[in-house]
Structure 1
Amino acid sequence: MVHCQLRAVLAASGASFAQSSVTLYGIADVYLGNTKLTGHDGVSTTTNSLGSGGVSTDRWGFKGSEDLGGGLKANFLLEQGFNIDTGAAKGTGNNAAGLPVAGAQGFARQSYVGFSGGFGEVKLGKMWTAFDDVNGATDAVFDSALSPMYYVFTSTNYNANPGNSVYYTTPTFSGFSGTVSYGLGENKTAAQNAGSNAAFNVQYTGGPVYVALGYQSEKDNGNVSSRDFTRVNASYDLGVVKLMGNLGRTKANDKSTNEWQLGVDYPVGSALTLSASYAASKGGVLTTFAPTAAGTADVKRTGFGIGASYSLSKRTSLYGGYMAAKEEANANFVGTADAETKLFAVGLRHAF
């Protein structure tokens, strides 16, 4: 009797599995880079190295869906990052300041299950926030390690994929769509991030025009400390060139930093694209989210990047370029020299 029941269960499971689809996917992205770092003390260090994820973070994962009928689907995704230059797993988590740090997680990038249908999509678990969905949408130089935005902006240092989260995105209505996400902040120990993570975005796509607004608010250390991030993105595709720009703002407790970036993509034929970007920021928020000292001047940062990407196929491309960013010296730092980062890089990206 027990064996009959077991066979019935297995048969039912097999019938369900036959209606499902599961996909193994990933990205392998490696680059050879020459990096020169100069501190506020004027001391410079130059390093030649292989880097992981110049354009896209290296990853592998499983995703799948099951048609439940009536337009309703059950979906899941399990995704892990890794460093292709060493083979080491790449984890993310939160330290006491709420910032992403390395961690020993089985699927550190995403792990969720949910539903989708005419109402949109719901995800439950660990996934990218609604703010992260628009973070790099109009970032020129391929939203890569060669983009000055990641060296100049403070609003790129948010918690991108908190765990214990709920995520909902709407269908698209006449080009408009919206997304909200909320991380519950369940861990209440003093050493961990115990605060919430709330974010939303509103996007519009119509012909050559794209516009997006994103916002994220984070609290930690028993909700004593808080940070808020705002981003406005826009792009216009003229065909011969694509113009891109974004405005950012970070607020950490009583200080804020304002940021802007302008960029352009120039397609040279069907395979080659050239791209350039300039970014600047000014304000009282340091990269660690600590506010500047009382009475000190705002921190000023500027940077530019140029790059090229050549598609060998739909899944494989070569890229390369140069980026230089500067943080001006003032009373907030030890030393009187401007801190600088300069990067030359050439890389290979393959998606599977």
Structure 2
Amino acid sequence: MKKVLLAATVSSLFAVAAHAQSSVTLYGVIDAGVVYANNAHAPGSASSGQSWSVGSGTVSNTLWGLKGSEDLGGGMHAIFKLEDGFNVNNGAFAQSSELFGRQAYVGLQSNQYGTVTLGKQYDSTVDYLAPLSEAGQGLGNNLAAHPFDNDNLDNSFSISNSVKFASVDYAGFKFGGLYGFSNKAGAFSDNRAYSAGASYSNGPLSIAASYLQINNPGQGDNANGAVSGSNNTATFVAARQRTFGGGVNYAFGPATVGFVYTHTKLDGLDAINMDGAYTSLSGNSLRLDNYEVNTRYALTPAMSIEGAYTFTNGSFNTSAGDAKPKYHQFSLLADYDLSKRTDVYAEGVFQHASGGNGTVLGDAAINGLSPSSTDKQVAVTVGMRHRF
């Protein structure tokens, strides 16, 4: 009898130990606020004018997810993440009908070498360069993204069918890469994606660089490819998209200043995503160079302000003629922490567009809002965020 009790006790201890080595975490962010925008003109609508609305994810993406880790021994872990974006106003999916439209992957993590994951996940631009930009810093700042989020620093889309490697931290240096398969028989390169990036942090200094290329992003003939247009998240419908850039941040006590440069080149452009709807914009090529200066300052442990200025210089080539679109955008955000999980914020954004030569590229279009009916747009929002 004693042997039976001893065996049962030992088995229970092993079960408790095994349970302690595994974890599953529920997490998320809910962001809601009142948003004012002037000259708003929703794509496909005949009306335009001032817009007052309750916005979802105006500053930070509203999302929830599950992530987990199991200790396999020898410094190895099995990991997974399932993440969904949603509209807090009506509960609808943010990525069309996709349950986990932001991320869904499983993989192995080594404490010595790095992590390999498979599934739907973000590219190296999001992982390495975006944290140095105003749109990707911390929980993000969606309104401050570069026009149309043309460089994906605001993680407008993730890569399906992808395999990704992320290194461990080597004294502040990290690197990684991703490959997204087309998953189409007989068309290996049709709607595939690949990217690479690296970053280095040492005390107050942080630097990063990345590259992303997508063949046939958003194309309807391969909706199951790396970047699909069927869920209205692909930024462009084009024959090819290439994006590269670099950035640097430096901290001076409670202040941080940064500079980010990105270059996006689109070949065989067919359409552009504006406020979740595709607007036809056929052309031979579109080039957009983004120059961003950003700053953050902690007034108190609970109160901070951050701002950014971005100049975007473009060139649009078509058979009917060329255009030289340019954008000047200013943003200023004040944030106050009510607790470690809850904060309130107020933000203002101004954008001025020019040189569109009669195309939609000449209309101001602050990220996440209906584009302006003129070359100028102002947006103001007051809201709150809760993290769990």
Of 43-52 and 24-33, deviating more is: 43-52
Matches within 5 A, 1:203-218: 203-218=199-214
Q: Determine the structure 1 residue equivalent to 2:274.
A: none
In the TM superposition, what whole-angstrom CA distance separates every residue of 1:216-255 from its partner, at most 9, and x where no partner exists? 0000158981110012111100114210110010111254
Tell me which of 67, 77, 80 is aligned to 2:84.
80
- Within the candidate set 304, 311, 319, 2:337 is matched to 311
Counterparts of 1:153 and 1:58 in 2: how far apart (Å)? 17
SS in 2 for 1:90: coil
| Deviation of the 1:312 alpha carbon | 1.2
Q: From the superposition, tell whether residues 137 and 292 of structure 1 become closer, same or farther in structure 2 (CA, over 3 Å).
A: farther
> Structure 1, residues 282-310: CA drift from partner, whole Å, max 9, x if none?
1225xxxxx54564231111110111011
- C-alpha separation in 1, matches of 2:100 and 2:15: 25
Q: What is the CA distance between 1:341 and its match in structure 2? A: 2.3
Letter in 2 for 1:24: L
Q: Is 2:126 the counterpart of 1:126?
A: no
Structure 2 counterparts to residues 226-305 of structure 1, below 5 A: 226-253=240-267, 254-285=285-316, 291-293=317-319, 295-305=321-331
Aligned partner of 2:72 in structure 1 is 68
Q: Distance in 2 between matches of 1:51 and 1:159?
A: 17
SS at match of 1:137: helix
Counterpart among 141, 147, 154 of residue 151 in structure 1:
147
Change over 3 Å in CA distance of 1:195–1:338 after alignment to 2: same
Q: 1:82 corresponds to which letter in structure 2?
A: F
CA contact (8 A) 1:60 1:79 kept: yes
Aligned match for 1:184, one of 176, 181, 186 = 181
- Distance across 2 between alignment mates of 1:152 and 1:89: 21
Once residues 294 and 205 of structure 1 are traced to their aligned partners in structure 2, the CA distance between those partners, rounded to angstroms, is 47
Cα displacement (A) at 1:172? 1.3
- Shift in Å at residue 135 of structure 1? 4.7
Q: 1:126 deviation in Å?
A: 0.7
CA contact (8 A) 2:33 2:383 kept: yes
Structure 1 pair 243–115 and aligned structure 2 pair: CA distance change class (3 A): same
Deviation by residue 1:1-34 (Cα, 9 ceiling, x = unmatched):
xxxxxxxxxx999985563111111111111110
Runs of 5+ unmatched residues, structure 1: 1-10, 92-102, 286-290
Contact 1:284–1:292 at 8 Å: present in 2 too? no
Q: Which of 109, 134, 137 pairs up with 1:116?
A: 109
What letter corresponds to residue 178 of structure 1 in structure 2?
Answer: F
Q: CA RMSD in A?
A: 2.8
Instruction: State the secondary structure of the residue aligned to 1:133.
Output: helix
Q: How does 1:43-58 map to 2 (within 5 A)?
A: 45-58=49-62
Instruction: Return closer, same or farther for 1:121/1:330 CA change in 2, 3 Å cut-off.
Output: closer
Contact 1:153/1:259 (8 A) holds in 2? no
| Corresponding residue SS for 1:310 | strand
The answer to whether structure 1 residue 343 and structure 2 residue 379 are counterparts is yes
* Partner SS, residue 160 of structure 2: coil
> For structure 2, which runs of at least 5 residues remain unmatched after alignment?
1-11, 42-46, 223-237, 268-284, 364-372
Deviations 1:66-85 (A, max 9, x none): 10000100001111111111
User: How far apart, in 2, do the equivalents of 1:332 and 1:248 lie?
Assistant: 25
In structure 2, what is the Cα distance between the partners aligned to 1:266 and 1:244?
12
Residue 106 (structure 1) aligned with residue 102 (structure 2): no
CA deviation profile, 1:187-210 (whole Å, cap 9, x unmatched):
4699xx942110111101010001
| CA distance in 2 between partners of 1:15 and 1:209 (Å) | 41
TM-score by length of 2: 0.75
Compute the displacement of 1:145 (Å): 3.1
- Counterpart Cα distance in 1 of 2:92 and 2:199: 36
The structure with higher relative contact order (CA 8 Å, sep 6+) is 1
On the 8 A contact 1:243/1:264 being kept in 2, the answer is: yes
C-alpha distance in structure 2 between counterparts of 1:341 and 1:132, whole Å? 27
**After the TM superposition, which of the residue ranges 340-349 and 252-261 deviates more from structure 2?**
252-261
Distance 2:129 2:383 in 1: 23
Q: Distance in 1 between matches of 2:85 and 2:304?
A: 27
Alpha-carbon distance between aligned partners in 2 of 1:275 and 1:258, rounded to the nearest angstrom: 23
Give the TM-score normalised by the residue count of structure 1.
0.82
- Note if contact 1:281-1:302 (Cα within 8 Å) is conserved in structure 2: yes
Query: Which residue of the partner structure matches residue 35 of structure 1?
Result: 37
**For 1:255 and 1:60, how far apart are their aligned partners in 2?**
35
Q: How has the CA–CA distance of structure 1 residues 133 and 231 changed in structure 2, closer, same or farther, with 3 Å as cutoff? A: same
Residues 284 and 252 of structure 1, relative CA distance in 2, 3 Å threshold: same
Q: Within 1, Cα distance between the matches of 2:39 and 2:186? A: 37
**What letter corresponds to residue 324 of structure 2 in structure 1?**
D
Residue type of the partner of 1:75? Answer: I
Distance 1:140 1:106 in 2: 28
- Greater shift, 129-138 or 270-279, is seen at 129-138
CA distance, structure 2, for counterparts of residue 153 and residue 298 of structure 1: 18
